[in-house]
């Protein structure tokens, strides 16, 4: 079981992310803002998942002293966001649609 902080302001996507990962046995804390994510990370986390289409995950990652593993989600039509996130140090960045299909497996491989 991994401890996941999911910075996903959209309620529907957040619910889907949480449901997918909880069903796979992970403990998920949803955060709707950078400050809420930082507070959740202070309690310890194995993974930070960020909806890059909704928040500036690059700035958040840059503000963290020792971030956990990171997974970014982006809109498949926004390749620039993907490239920025990878350049900033995100461990993996995938389209939201791929996460919907393979979310638990992506997290498990990333944390292995």
Tell me the domain boundaries of the chain.
3-111
pLDDT on residue 33 = 96
pTM over 0.85: yes
Residue with tokens 């930070």: 48
Is 25 buried (19+), middle (13-18) or exposed (0-12) by CB count in 10 A? exposed
Instruction: Give the CATH architecture of domain 3-111.
Output: 3-Layer(aba) Sandwich (3.40)
Per-residue pLDDT reduced to its tens digit, 93-112: 999 999 999 999 999 999 99
51, 20, 77, 87 alpha-carbon torsion, rounded to 10°: 50
């Amino acid at each position: 079981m991994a401890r996941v902080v999911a910075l996903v302001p959209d309620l529907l996507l957040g619910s889907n992310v949480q449901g997918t990962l909880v069903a796979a046995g992970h403990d998920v804390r949803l955060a709707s803002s950078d400050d809420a994510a930082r507070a959740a990370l202070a309690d310890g986390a194995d993974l930070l998942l960020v909806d890059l289409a909704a928040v500036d995950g690059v700035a958040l990652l840059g503000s963290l002293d020792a971030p956990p593993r990171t997974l970014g989600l982006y809109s498949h039509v926004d390749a620039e966001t993907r490239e920025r996130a990878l350049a900033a140090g995100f461990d993996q960045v995938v389209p939201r649609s791929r996460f919907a299909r393979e979310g638990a497996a992506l997290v498990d491989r990333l944390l292995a």
